[in-house]
Amino acid sequence: MSPTARVGAFMLAALIILGVFIVKIEEIPVGTKGARTKVQAVFPSVAGLDVKSPVRIAGVRVGLVERIELAGNQARVTLALEPGVVLRQGARAEVTSLGMLGDKYVEVYPGPLDAPLLPAGTVLAGTSPVAFDEVLRTAGDVGSDVKAITASLRQSLAGEEGQRRIDEILENVRQLTEHTRAMVAANRANVDATIANFREFSQTLREELPRLAEKLNALADRVEAVVADNRENLSASMANIRDLSARLRTSADNLNEISGKIARGEGSIGKLVNDDETVNNLNATLKSVESGVASLKNTIGRAERWRLDLTLRGEALPGLDGDQTSRSAFGFDLATSERRFFRVELVDSPFGRRSYVTQTTSVVYPDGRTETTVQRTERIKDTATVNAQIGYVFPSFTLRAGLFESTGGIGIDHQTLKNRLRLSLEAYDFDRDTKPPHIRLEGRYFLTRNIFAYAGWDDPTWSERSTAIVGGGVTWGDEDVKYLLGTAGSLAGR
């Protein structure tokens, strides 16, 4: 493996690890976590509680705090509970903390087991711990009392009897220190559990990366097969162009000979051309032809300035269930000017191509009454979809519109870091029945001029199809395509 490929593989692995860390740290709902149950609770005060703070039942983490907002003179907190958590009538919530200085969290008491289920939309009653300011005020009052007690102790602890009492107090302090040391040692199990979780995550990543590489290799083999199948057609097209060029050269020689005879006044046409009126008419015609040739030359010059970029990419969709957990695409961008380009891609979508069929049924009853029923049926074919878009380049962004996976849509791109990083937002499939439109967020980073890696989020508004995106690809420019065609031609010659 070349150094560039090693660097690309390392960067792709780093992006994947970074994406998983972001999902873990930010606790983004993925897979079954996306179906969390939302429950609201009202508290007199939530001081110290933040969004994404844990929600626990019997000390076990079962969700997180999704939103905190003010409702009148109380705090309304939205709790996102994991599937399987059942709340019954009599359930309540309490803001508490892990120890004296631990982080605040919400402890939920689910209610008696023999009580009926909690109705949907019920707001839990919540209680709040004593505020720190109140504790300080109480501590001040206690301090005053302590001063009074200290004065009394000063009188009580004098002499041998007082020394004996002090020794008893020191012994109690020693025992309390031992209990504290034992409690700190007991918390080491939490650190060991965290390390075990990281080890399990590393094992999962080691198993998934070879599968992604295998799919990219399979897609590259398909592209090579397509190039091999069309090699004969390309050779035949080049032969036809050479034959046409030879015929045009012969026609040009014949035209030169005829024009020479006309200029010398030979033949009927030559005599007509030498007439002043005919010459004037012919000169006007030639000027028109000259203008047309100039226009044709300008058109051909613009075509020579066109730029073609081929792109091959593949991505993994770990948040989807079943076998279809990847997407691949192959296509090209044809830039006809500095500010306009056309994109055509063949996309192997995990959802297939969707279409709708509307069937109208009319029933005529004996009494003359007619009843019409309209049924709209969705059909999904397991075939490749198409991206066919037109794009316009502006100083700070690029706007695209057209077909996105065979459905209408629009996209916007923003390039930064000297065009090495491209941020994209796409919205399409506006007429689907569930959670329209389909939204895709992507960040693409070019490791080299031809190789890129990207990550993002696909369809975040539909929990059943919401998934992270991790992938990579390769792009070839005009010079790269010429090199590939030349290499293919030399191999065919052998």
Q: In the predicted model, is pLDDT for residue 154 greater than 80?
A: no
Residue 108 makes CB contacts below 8 A (sequence gap 6+) with 55, 56, 57, 62, 79, 81, 87, 91, 92, 93, 94, 124
For residue 15, being part of any structural domain is answered with: no
Average pLDDT of the chain?
Answer: 81
- Same domain (yes/no): 249, 318: no
Q: Alpha-carbon distance 339 to 42, whole Å?
A: 55
Instruction: Measure CA 299 to chain center.
Output: 40
Q: What are phi and psi of 458, to 5 degrees?
A: -115, 130
Q: Residue 151 has what pLDDT?
A: 75
Confidence of residue 350 (pLDDT cuts 50, 70, 90): confident
For residue 16, being part of any structural domain is answered with: no
Residue 305, Ramachandran bin (φ over 0: left; ψ between -120 and 50: alpha; else beta): alpha
The count of C-alpha atoms lying within 13 angstroms of the C-alpha of 492, restricted to the half-sphere facing its C-beta, is 14
- Which of 94-108, 209-223, 283-297 has the highest mean predicted lDDT (pLDDT)? 94-108
Contact by Cβ (8 Å): 42, 126: yes
Q: In the predicted model, is pLDDT for residue 457 greater than 80?
A: yes
- Same domain (yes/no): 254, 118: no
Q: Alpha-carbon distance 57 to 315, whole Å?
A: 38
Domain end call among 279, 303, 327: 303
Structure-derived torsion over alpha carbons of residues 326, 454, 396, 308, reported in degrees to the nearest 10: -70
Q: In the predicted model, is pLDDT for residue 279 greater than 70?
A: no
- Same domain (yes/no): 236, 323: no
User: Residue 446 corresponds to which tokens in the numbers above?
Assistant: 């070019």
Q: In the predicted model, is pLDDT for residue 33 greater than 60?
A: no
Q: Residue 379 has what pLDDT?
A: 64
- Which of 208-217, 225-234, 362-371, 411-420 has the highest mean predicted lDDT (pLDDT)? 411-420
- Same domain (yes/no): 91, 156: no
User: Residue 407 corresponds to which tokens in the numbers above?
Assistant: 């459905």
Domain end call among 129, 147, 170: 129
Q: Residue 157 has what pLDDT?
A: 64
- Same domain (yes/no): 404, 452: yes
Residue-wise DSSP of 284-338: HHHHHHHHHHHHHHHHHHHHHT-EEEEEEEEEE-TTS-SS--EEEEEEEEEEEET
pTM as predicted: 0.39
For residue 69, being part of any structural domain is answered with: yes
Q: Residue 380 has what pLDDT?
A: 65
Confidence of residue 339 (pLDDT cuts 50, 70, 90): very high
- Same domain (yes/no): 82, 141: no
Q: In the predicted model, is pLDDT for residue 215 greater than 90?
A: no
**375-402 average pLDDT score:** 85
Q: Residue 344 has what pLDDT?
A: 95
Q: Alpha-carbon distance 146 to 139, whole Å?
A: 10
Instruction: Average the pLDDT over each of 195-209, 276-290, 350-364 and give the range with the smallest value.
Output: 276-290
Contact by Cβ (8 Å): 317, 458: yes
**123-136 average pLDDT score:** 79
For residue 43, being part of any structural domain is answered with: yes
- Same domain (yes/no): 99, 177: no
- Same domain (yes/no): 159, 252: no
Q: Alpha-carbon distance 168 to 157, whole Å?
A: 12
Q: Residue 475 has what pLDDT?
A: 93
For residue 1, being part of any structural domain is answered with: no
Q: Alpha-carbon distance 390 to 342, whole Å?
A: 5
- Same domain (yes/no): 466, 336: yes
For residue 63, being part of any structural domain is answered with: yes
User: Residue 359 corresponds to which tokens in the numbers above?
Assistant: 């069937």
- Same domain (yes/no): 143, 251: no
Q: In the predicted model, is pLDDT for residue 242 greater than 70?
A: yes
For residue 7, being part of any structural domain is answered with: no
- Same domain (yes/no): 328, 458: yes
β-strand 74-81 against 385-393: which pairing, if any?
Answer: unpaired
Bigger pLDDT: 475 vs 479: 475
Q: What percent of the chain clears pLDDT 70, i.e. is strictly above it?
A: 80
Q: In the predicted model, is pLDDT for residue 18 greater than 90?
A: no
Residue-wise DSSP of 393-454: E-SS-EEEEEEETTEEEEEEEEEETTTTEEEEEEEE-TT-SSSSSEEEEEEEEESSSSEEEE
Bigger pLDDT: 170 vs 353: 170
**297-318 average pLDDT score:** 79
For residue 487, being part of any structural domain is answered with: yes
Q: Give the domain range for residue 178.
A: 133-186
Q: Alpha-carbon distance 361 to 231, whole Å?
A: 52
For residue 478, the domain's CATH number is 2.40.128
**194-202 average pLDDT score:** 77
Q: In the predicted model, is pLDDT for residue 160 greater than 60?
A: yes
Domain end call among 237, 271, 303: 303
Q: Residue 30 has what pLDDT?
A: 56
Contact by Cβ (8 Å): 53, 63: no
Q: Alpha-carbon distance 345 to 329, whole Å?
A: 6
- Same domain (yes/no): 377, 468: yes
Q: Number of structural domains, the chain? A: 4
